[in-house]
Structure 1
Amino acid sequence: MNKHAYELWLIWQNPQTRQRYHIGRLLHDSDSYSFRYENSGYRRKLKEAMENGYKPHLAFPDINKTYSSNKLFGPFARRLPDNKRPDFHSILQDLGLPTDYTNMDLLRATGGRLATDTYEFVAPIFTSNSHFDFDFYIAGWRHYDGDQIIHNIQPGEQVRFELDPDNEQDSKAVIVLSDKYGKKLGYIPAFYSGFMYEVIKNSSTYNANIATVNPKAVPQLKVNIAVVGKFSKDLNKMDFKKDYEIQLLR
């Protein structure tokens, strides 16, 4: 997974429909943290989430405010493993993190998931000039063929994407398939799929490879995919940024 200046997207999952939405952004700049809701755009963003039952977090009630702090916000810090645990060093090793990790490193690696709610943190999509990159864990893993080949697939192997326009839940759904074995592994998460749908439809070039494989992980964390690509000339990147709120690198 590529490293960039730190930003993480906050994702909310509707507990009834299981659909996930990008509802906020957490940023770490030098010694300060900031959090704001994702008010730009509609598809799989805050506005659509609120229409489908989302209520603002009690610690961040104002959807139009940018919250600031000189340390990681308490509601997010509580999502991190306790560094006083006797097995904490083993946790870092399992997550592939060095001993000089940051809270943002740990939040990204664990997703900040709790059994008591439906929030998680994920990495954003980055672009620099005409290039882009992001990574994701395959969605819907338990419903398809991945477990048949999980002990055979290796980091570095290619996957390919296919559009699924007849998908009743998401007209911009994108299927993930093993290029080597031809098996359907699942889908790109919906908060990324609109972006990738436009990339594919506009004939942009990209490579997608397996970044990590963890057969013992829960289904939604078994396989991570890394994507790098280049926008086609037909794709208006500024409109694209407006629609999908891509993080532009400076």
Structure 2
Amino acid sequence: MKEHKSLWLVWQNVNTRLFYHVGTLSFYDNQYIFQYTYQSDGPQKVNDALRNGYLLHPMFPELKKEYKSTNLFGAFKRRLPSEIRVDFQGILNDLHLTENYSDMELLERTRGKLGSDQYSFEKPLKIYDSVLKTSFYINGMSYQELPENWYDILKSHKNVRLQLEPENPVDENAIAIYSEFDVKLGYVPRFYSSGISALLMSGMSPNIKVNYVNEEASPSWWVKLDFECEVPTLTKDGLSNLDPIFEQVI
């Protein structure tokens, strides 16, 4: 079977702190493809981002073009740690990657983020046999009142729960994340929130657990979660409340 991987290119508005899924990078049949999400006019896509201060990436200046390359685009390749770094093997170990890693795997694990840069790569929502799956890092942990030993707790108690916050002043689809002991850890990344909140409001019960914890990393990489949730048959008839899923599953 040919490898088919995809990642969302996410841009953050530094003024509002809101995130937008502006493009999708795919790898299939030994070819990389990048395309903006211009076909959707939904929230947190590129058209919405353009209305809120986003400028197209200078290496990809045409909104409706499908960019193709047999090698990872240079604009994205430079976001990966260099193989000549003396600590590169340690980086692979920390990311749980073997020496046979692919650029897409390395981009996924590092998120391709450079310091205070406004871009990152995130794992998309995908449906496998009527099960929606993804993994993500908890957002906003540094703003919560966490116990001093929060990392030890999460390493031994891996179940977490989600709670809708419809009165949240920033995002009506905001989803808070709580530990087994009802400690608020942070939030589901906003570029997933409309899709996942649609599932929750439809009465679905996701299975969400801690994948790994790295308390020595920057807060954006402290805790990674695995998310799975069964979804109804994805037909538009009678499922208008699940429309955000159609917008977010690429």
**TM-score normalised over the length of structure 2:** 0.91
**Counterpart residue number, 1:22:** 21
Change (3 A) 1:171 1:5: same
1:38-77 deviation digits (Å, cap 9, x = unpaired):
1214211111111110000000011111000110000000
**Counterpart residue number, 2:200:** 200
**Counterpart residue number, 2:92:** 92
Segments of 5+ residues of structure 1 without an aligned counterpart are none
Shift of 1:5: 3.0
How far apart, in 2, do the equivalents of 1:65 and 1:58 lie? Answer: 13
Segments of 5+ residues of structure 2 without an aligned counterpart are none
1:98-157 deviation digits (Å, cap 9, x = unpaired):
110000010011011112631000100110232111111001111113453122211671
How far apart, in 1, do the equivalents of 2:79 and 2:50 lie? Answer: 23
Q: Does the aligned pair in 2 maintain the 1:205–1:231 contact within 8 Å? A: no
Shift of 1:171: 0.4
> Given the alignment, which residue of 232, 243, 246 partners 1:242?
246
How far apart, in 1, do the equivalents of 2:9 and 2:156 lie? Answer: 27
How far apart, in 2, do the equivalents of 1:156 and 1:237 lie? Answer: 33
What SS class does the counterpart of residue 6 from structure 1 fall into?
strand
Q: Does 1:49 align with 2:43?
A: no
Q: Which moved more, 1:142-151 or 1:36-45?
A: 142-151
How far apart, in 1, do the equivalents of 2:239 and 2:176 lie? Answer: 22
**Counterpart residue number, 1:166:** 167
What SS class does the counterpart of residue 34 from structure 2 fall into?
strand
What SS class does the counterpart of residue 4 from structure 2 fall into?
coil
Aligned length: 242
How far apart, in 1, do the equivalents of 2:61 and 2:172 lie? Answer: 32
Change (3 A) 1:16 1:239: closer
Shift of 1:240: 4.7
Change (3 A) 1:197 1:239: closer
Q: Does the aligned pair in 2 maintain the 1:164–1:173 contact within 8 Å? A: yes
What SS class does the counterpart of residue 145 from structure 1 fall into?
coil
* Residues 180-191 of structure 1 mapped to structure 2, 5 A cutoff: 181-191=181-191
Shift of 1:16: 1.4
**TM-score normalised over the length of structure 1:** 0.91
How far apart, in 2, do the equivalents of 1:161 and 1:238 lie? Answer: 18
How far apart, in 1, do the equivalents of 2:71 and 2:25 lie? Answer: 12
Residue identity in the other structure for 1:104: M
Q: Which moved more, 1:62-71 or 1:227-236?
A: 227-236
Determine which structure has greater relative contact order: mean sequence separation of CA pairs < 8 Å that are 6+ residues apart, divided by chain length. Answer: 1
Residue identity in the other structure for 1:7: S
Shift of 1:17: 1.6
Q: Does the aligned pair in 2 maintain the 1:154–1:213 contact within 8 Å? A: yes
Residue identity in the other structure for 1:171: E
**Counterpart residue number, 1:151:** 152
Change (3 A) 1:241 1:161: closer
Shift of 1:222: 0.2
What SS class does the counterpart of residue 15 from structure 2 fall into?
coil
What SS class does the counterpart of residue 162 from structure 2 fall into?
strand
**Counterpart residue number, 1:139:** 139
Q: Give the aligned CA root-mean-square deviation in angstroms.
A: 1.9
How far apart, in 2, do the equivalents of 1:73 and 1:155 lie? Answer: 40
Shift of 1:241: 4.5
Q: Does the aligned pair in 2 maintain the 1:206–1:227 contact within 8 Å? A: yes
User: Aligned residues: percent identity?
Assistant: 34
Shift of 1:239: 4.0
Q: Does the aligned pair in 1 maintain the 2:141–2:186 contact within 8 Å? A: yes
